[in-house]
Chain A
Amino acid sequence: MMAVVYEFVWRMLHALLHLQRTILSWFRISIWNWNWRLWRRAVAAVLVPAVFGFQNHPHNNKKLVPGGGKKSCGRVRWKSDGKSLEKLPLHVGLLIAEEEPRYTDIANLVVWCMAVGISYVSVYDNQGIFRRNNSRLMDEILKQQQELLGLDSLKYSVEFLNKSNEKPEQQVLSCQATVKVLSPDDGKPSIVKAAQKFCQLVEHQQQRSTDLDVNMLDSLLRGTKGMPDPDLVMKFGTVDSTLGFLPWHIRLAEIISLPSHINIKYEDFFSALKCYAGCEQRLGK
């Protein structure tokens, strides 16, 4: 009898939480035009049940309330924004944990990364959709680069790193960013391949099993065109997991969550970078 009551209360609780999530995302879509940041914060504060204390200190809040606000103005601003931050990540991983990716929005994110001064960007989803639609994504990125960076786009060149195409797409002029499209195959299966490679060396007596250390395995994994480890993972969507994204490489990456990549605004992207700049890494010390 009590079991039925508990189950009922549980269902009510989850219905309430799902409703809250739906309302928040509806607000995000419908008020993106308005500059009512204060109003938005007030609404969010009312809807988030204080009794559960979900989000604690706002400045420590790594889950961002969705943004609205004025349209961004100018690539000049982007470059100076990047310089204004205490620290900028070298490599940003864009983890799209949503069912239906929107190529234009992702292309915007990649171009903003480049414009702000980030050298390496990787794009990932756990179903391998981007890997299969690699060229479509590349085209979209080049298109958005032209649109958003305009005349300056000559200054920024993008090198696409994929298994099938290792040649750079454009001439290197001054700023260069490297974009890589990743899938779950780049996670555990890559570690397995590196392990098999080492085992083959052992089988042919070119190495002993005891020769292996962390640095050796790291270089086996990185290969020749390796990117540095991601310092920042921007996760888009409501799923709270890395979903198989580069397990070996994200050991020290800051994981900052954003509600969605659909209609993502530059302000929200930049808030995530500001959040990253505020993180202090003690590296065990």
Chain B
Amino acid sequence: MSWIHKGELTFIERLSANILKAGPMPKHVAFIMDGNRRYARKLHVERQQGHTQGFDKLAETLRWCLNLEIREVTVYAFSIENFKRAKDEVDGLMELARQKFSRLLDEQEDLEKHGVCIRVLGDLTLLPLDIQKLIAQAVLATKNHNKCFLNVCFAYTSRHEITNAVKEAAWGVEQGLIKPSDVSEFLLDECLYTSNSPDPDLLIRTSGEVRLSDFLLWQTTYSCLVFQSILWPEYSFWNLCEAILQYQLNHHALQKARDLHAEARVLQQLEADRCCAAELLQQTGLGKPLDPQLRQEAVQKYTAEREGRVHSFLTALQEKRDRFFTDLNKGSIASAKA
């Protein structure tokens, strides 16, 4: 497979991997693959070659992740901000994407054998139509694979993603599926492009920059952030082990913080449901029943109704998303037949 290198770890690498695996391992790792252009400058080659080397390094890293039993990887391949770059560089990156996605479609058997599910996250309508169609084919072809997951953020920024999630919720209100008060952290989680993935446990950024640059801002609030100064095309298995070690050192504290947040979220939702149930009772003219048992029942009824509304909305949202890809795919089949 062109996207995942063949090959196994050396003896020393396998030994280190086994030692690391004795401790808690991240299940989902996100990468900001920074430093391709600086690498090209360093080696006095063309920028485009830096990006190509960067892709090869991605394929190698995915192999190491599979060896370490890290089943889900998300990568920041192209930001909406990157459209600001020089035209020839953007065109070069689009051509690279075209080649790599086409190659992927030729390797469907291998992808099926290894159970690789490819997802592409971002505002795909900003991309050239032919690339959108290639992406749609790749996503639909691997939709039901479930051994490992690769999420490629392409034409993506986190603020766009969050804004889009709020827009979807507003669409749900427009369609009469949910009420504004049904909007919660959980609902927005499900409206994000990453709704099918758990939050990343570990975020790695290479090339020494220490910022998030609009990548997974919502999803990485309790992730372990590791900033490494190595340039992406020079990334090694040992750099990955170092990052995992950092994750293991932070694991306990982060778990504690995450649990605290989850508890607070549950309480907030309960409080919100209580308020809404009370308001409803006011509106129906029954006032606030003094009997705590009745009040409790009213809250439980409200919660069940809210969850029902949210469930219908999420089903409709999933159908809308699937339709986007199937429509694109129909378009490419039609043009192939013509």
Contact = CB atoms under 8 A, between A and B. Distances in A.
Interface of A: 2-3, 6-7, 9-11, 13-14, 17-18, 52-54, 56-57, 60-62, 126-127, 184, 187-189, 191-192, 194-196, 198-200, 202-203, 207-210, 212-214, 217-218, 238-245, 247-248, 250-256, 279, 281, 283-285
Interface centre among B21, B84, B158, B174 (most CB of A within 10 A): B174
B317 interface: no
Interface stretch (B61-69, B103-111, B219-227, B325-333): B219-227
Interface string B74-90: 00000111111100000
A53 B246 CA distance: 12
28 contacts: A7-B22, A10-B22, A14-B23, A56-B228, A60-B229, A189-B268, A192-B188, A202-B170, A208-B174, A209-B174, A213-B163, A214-B159, A214-B160, A217-B166, A239-B253, A240-B246, A241-B254, A241-B257, A248-B159, A251-B157, A251-B159, A251-B212, A253-B212, A254-B211, A255-B225, A281-B211, A284-B82, A284-B83
A218 B166 CA distance: 12
A246 to B, nearest CB: 9
Contacts of B166: 191, 194-195, 198-199, 212, 217
A244 B223 CA distance: 10
B181 A196 contact: yes
B36 to A, nearest CB: 12
B144 to A, nearest CB: 30
A200 B180 contact: yes
A1 to B, nearest CB: 12
A240 B225 contact: yes
A202 B217 CA distance: 26
A129 B78 CA distance: 39
Contacts of A9: 19, 22
Contacts of A256: 210
Contacts of A238: 249-250, 253
A251 B213 contact: yes
Interface of B: 18-23, 79-85, 157-160, 162-163, 165-171, 173-174, 179-181, 183-185, 188, 208-214, 217-218, 220-230, 238, 242, 245-246, 248-250, 253-254, 257, 260-261, 264, 268
A283 B211 CA distance: 11
Give the secondary structure class of B's interface.
helix
B18 to A, nearest CB: 5
Contact of A241 (B173, B180, B181, B250): B250
A254 B210 contact: yes
